[in-house]
Structure 1
Amino acid sequence: MKIISFFIIIILAVGCKSNYQTIGQDKQHKNSSINEDIEWSHTWVVSTNKYDLPKVLIIGDSHVERYYQNVTDKLINKAYCNKFTTSRSLGDPILIDQLRAVFNAYKFDIICFNNGLHGVDYTVKQYSNYIPEVYNLFKKNNSNIKLIWVNITARRVPKNLTDFDKYNTGIINRNKAIADFTKAKQIPLIDFYSLSINHMDYYEPDGIHFNPNGVAEEANTVTLEILKAINNLKGYK
């Protein structure tokens, strides 16, 4: 009995090790997940059993966390506004798994997508390769989906906001890939990078997040684009 138990433990240990090694790996793109010190995600879906208004999903990071409620308040009686926020970046196969989980459970009419401030260790190529992949996920969720893409805000040096940090060149290159893709697909693009480089006054001292004035500007811009998308939807006039 002891010998049998020993072999069972060995088998389980080998199995666990093998499973662990495959987490966050993408054979197609040969990418593996690169964890930040803290990883997080937040899914918030409202009025799941109501269908009288368009269902909007805002995808992003901590910027969306800050302006989501503002947008939601502006869209009362116009749409059901939901969010999925995460520290995972394009280039990270775990992001794809996270999005699939959301889309397997819920269908949306409008998606407003921003991603790229996190995941600085992924190359521009790794990031760019995932742009069409998430696009295909959106279209699979709803073939008539109305998309809005939001590019990435600039990264400034903490407490020295006049300067951009060492990762900002990567942000510029990621935004170029976003611009090329959205132009080819004729997807509306919100240019928050230009907003961020022209408004140092919108930044918190950390050089990453926006203060209340910046958050309000983001919320106003996103709301206007969502309202345009709502006006182009069929069945909600």
Structure 2
Amino acid sequence: MRTLILLASLLLPLQAQIVRENIEWLDVWMPDTNVHALPRVLLIGDSITRGYGKQVEALLKDKAYVARLATSKSLGDPALLDQVSLVLKEQAFDVIHFNNGMHGDGYSEEAYAAALPELLATLRRLAPKARIVWATTTDVRVKEHLDQVAPKTGRMIKRNELAAAFAKQEGLPVDDLFEVIKDHPDYHVPDGVHFNAKGYEALAAQVAAAVAKVLP
């Protein structure tokens, strides 16, 4: 009994570090699971990845099968690793295009960066043949005032810098989605976070090009 109490006391600080949003969600799309003529690509990200995912799939038609894993989970939350592991155990992927950063406001940028090594280790362990591309997180505009950059963008820039430095250290190519949209408030919808058709078209073209460069 004393041992159980001691273990519980040790786990409490770890559990207290897990920050969850009021609404959590997971969206997985895995087409062409029973055919194997083309390379298989996995796009990992959030609702923005979900927004451009189908267009990337169309742009890479006849070149690759494109799946996606979109989630509200952030680096720093161990559940993200569980979700990624679930999908990687379903299929073998040749390319993984990964973005994360918009969610997880409750985690500091330092905590965010500290979770990168374990994530990469999980990707490499469960998809040992996959070529991994890191994608930067897009900016945020003030709701209903898209000409103004929201304060949260500063956090996205810091996370992007930390992730890019880690990617360079690990020899991973970086797909700079932030650069694609940072000067285009016209790409955003009124919420300041998501994108209109023109914005998603630009992001999809960028992602498809980045993936095409590393297709086997």
Name the counterpart of 2:183. Answer: 198
Pair 1:175 & 2:160 matched: yes
Contact preservation (8 Å) 1:108, 1:142? yes
Distance 2:60 2:168 in 1: 27
- Provide the aligned length of Structure 1 versus Structure 2: 207
Distance 1:165 1:137, change over 3 A: same
Distance 1:144 1:26, change over 3 A: farther
Pairs within 5 Å for 1:63-212: 63-212=48-197
Distance 2:150 2:103 in 1: 13
Q: TM-score, normalised by structure 2?
A: 0.90
Q: Which amino acid aligns with 1:226?
A: V
Q: Max radius of gyration: which structure?
A: 1
Q: Which amino acid aligns with 1:165?
A: A
Q: Structure 1: which 4+ aligned runs deviate by more than 6 Å?
A: none
Q: Report the secondary structure of 1:77's partner residue.
A: coil
Contact preservation (8 Å) 1:120, 1:167? no
Q: TM-score, normalised by structure 1?
A: 0.82
Residue 101 of structure 1 and its aligned partner are, at CA, apart by 1.5
Contact preservation (8 Å) 1:26, 1:93? no
| Aligned with 1:40 (options 12, 25, 41) | 25
Residue 142 of structure 1 and its aligned partner are, at CA, apart by 2.4
Q: Report the secondary structure of 1:113's partner residue.
A: strand
Distance 2:92 2:129 in 1: 11
Q: Which amino acid aligns with 1:163?
A: Q
Question: Where does the alignment leave 5 or more consecutive residues of structure 2 unmatched?
Answer: 1-7
Q: Over the residues paired in the alignment, what is the CA RMSD in angstroms?
A: 1.8
1:158-178: CA deviation from partner (whole Å, max 9, x where unpaired): 011222223222111101111
